[in-house]
């Protein structure tokens, strides 16, 4: 009964979307991307793209998770002007898997619709193969070649597509850069307040040894507490806290504090702006910290973190998880903390430049939308 009620509810929500779509005065677009999985970073990417083109497009998000939800009324959506492949590491896996499958099904349904690719990441083919997620290069190349605009998150993604033979690829950077707070607010006081994020990615990580990392992460947080750091656990998904507290075992340490508003972007940004440092695995924890010019140390479990940080020229604040050692990690945190003000200034200046470059790309897309 609960399942039936939920299904009816979803259909009614799609009925409302359908009515609004049919009454729209702007051009229509279908959005395909990471969404619907309660990950704040993925939701913000969609919101960012929607905000960029709010005056030009009526954007409808097709679900990647729970693809059957609202199927009846969703299938009544007709004749979109554009299909948008959004941000997140979407360019991965094979022809009949994941986002490529969803994208091709949508393109086949609307063959005369223009494809716009706005800032996704490209999974490194060698790394993907090493974790048994091989990328169908031929399938992706064929589909991406049909796009009217083709951009990616960072220079590594761009280089990969160039190697596949794709031309006219540009670097859009991560769409969530729109959250950048351009009013300079350099915090001179030091309070030894740190935000921590560790994520349950299983063995799909550099080195493939999550057990070793759990031990290092526990000892690292314990070392922070011993050295009088005020430690906050910062999740970007509903299951991050459980992983940190129970799987890693941080619940056994006294003095640990928790940030619980993982689904609220304004509270998240305000919180990260209040801390001296962010150390974590989640890419968008790194990005959100950069948006408020808070010093960070990204723990790269996959190539995407380096791809993003290279796009804003800040790779020195990143450590690959297969190279992490306890005391070198702790010392790196103290080095960044000691040099906090100059690091803040560096982040602010680099983010300002990155958002300026992104704004130029947004204008190019708006021109395409106007044709």
221, 256 contact by CB (below 8 A): yes
**DSSP string across 246-303:** IIS-GGGSTT-EE---TT-HHHHHHHHHHSSEEEES-HHHHHHHHHTT--EEEEESSH
What fold, for 2-10+23-172?
Rossmann fold (3.40.50)
Lowest mean pLDDT among 84-98, 286-300, 345-359: 84-98
Q: 156-201 pLDDT, tens per residue?
A: 999 999 999 999 999 999 999 999 999 887 776 789 999 999 999 9
The pair phi, psi for residue 98, each rounded to 5°, is: 55, -140
Q: Does 95 have pLDDT greater than 60?
A: no
Q: Does 69 have pLDDT greater than 70?
A: no
73, 17 contact by CB (below 8 A): yes
Q: Does 349 have pLDDT greater than 90?
A: yes
Report pTM.
Answer: 0.94
Token representation of residue 271: 């919180």
> Can you give the pLDDT at residue 11?
80
Per the listing, tokens 């309070």 go with: 191
**DSSP string across 91-119:** E-S-TTSHHHHHHHHHHHHSTTSEEEE-S
The domain spans of the chain are 2-10+23-172, 193-352
Token representation of residue 137: 């290069």
> Can you give the pLDDT at residue 49?
96
The pLDDT confidence band at residue 9, using thresholds 50, 70 and 90, is: confident
Domain 193-352: give its CATH architecture.
Answer: 3-Layer(aba) Sandwich (3.40)
- Please provide the average confidence, as pLDDT, over all residues in the chain: 92
Cα angle at 90 between 290 and 321, to 5 degrees?
55
Cα angle at 290 between 248 and 334, to 5 degrees?
60
Q: 126-154 pLDDT, tens per residue?
A: 999 899 888 899 999 999 999 999 999 99
Q: Does 96 have pLDDT greater than 60?
A: no
């Amino acid at each position: 009964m609960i399942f039936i009620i939920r299904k009816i509810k979803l259909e009614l929500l799609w009925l409302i979307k359908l009515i609004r779509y049919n009454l729209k005065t702007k051009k229509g677009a279908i959005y395909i991307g990471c969404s619907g999985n309660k990950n704040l970073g993925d939701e913000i990417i969609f919101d960012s793209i929607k905000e960029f083109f709010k005056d030009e497009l009526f954007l409808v998000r097709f679900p990647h998770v729970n693809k059957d939800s609202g199927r009846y009324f969703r299938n009544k959506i007709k004749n979109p002007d554009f299909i948008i492949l959004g941000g997140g590491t979407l360019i991965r896996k094979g022809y009949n898997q994941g986002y490529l499958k969803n994208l091709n099904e949508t393109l086949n349904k609307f063959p005369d619709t223009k494809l716009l690719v706005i800032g996704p990441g490209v999974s490194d083919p060698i790394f993907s193969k090493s974790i048994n997620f091989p990328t169908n290069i031929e399938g992706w190349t064929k589909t991406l070649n049909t796009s009217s605009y083709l951009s990616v998150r960072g220079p590594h993604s761009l280089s990969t597509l160039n190697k596949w033979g794709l031309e006219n690829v540009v670097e859009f950077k991560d769409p969530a850069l729109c959250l950048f707070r351009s009013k300079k607010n350099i915090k001179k006081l030091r309070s030894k307040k740190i935000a921590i994020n560790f994520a349950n990615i299983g063995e799909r990580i550099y080195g493939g040894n999550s057990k070793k990392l759990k031990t290092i992460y526990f000892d690292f947080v314990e070392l922070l507490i011993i050295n009088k750091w005020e430690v906050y656990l910062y999740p970007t998904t509903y299951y991050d806290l459980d992983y940190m507290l129970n799987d890693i075992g941080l619940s056994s340490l006294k003095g640990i504090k928790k940030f619980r508003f993982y689904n609220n972007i304004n509270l998240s940004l305000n919180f990260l702006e209040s801390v001296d440092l962010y150390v974590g695995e989640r890419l968008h924890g790194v990005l959100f910290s950069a948006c408020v010019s808070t010093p960070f140390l990204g723990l790269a479990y996959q190539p995407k973190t380096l791809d993003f940080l290279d796009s804003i020229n800040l790779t020195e604040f990143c450590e690959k998880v297969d190279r992490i050692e306890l005391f070198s990690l702790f010392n790196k945190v103290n080095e960044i903390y000691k040099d906090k003000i100059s690091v803040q200034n560096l982040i602010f200046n680099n983010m300002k430049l990155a958002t300026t470059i992104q704004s130029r790309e947004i204008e190019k897309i708006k021109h395409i939308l106007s044709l």
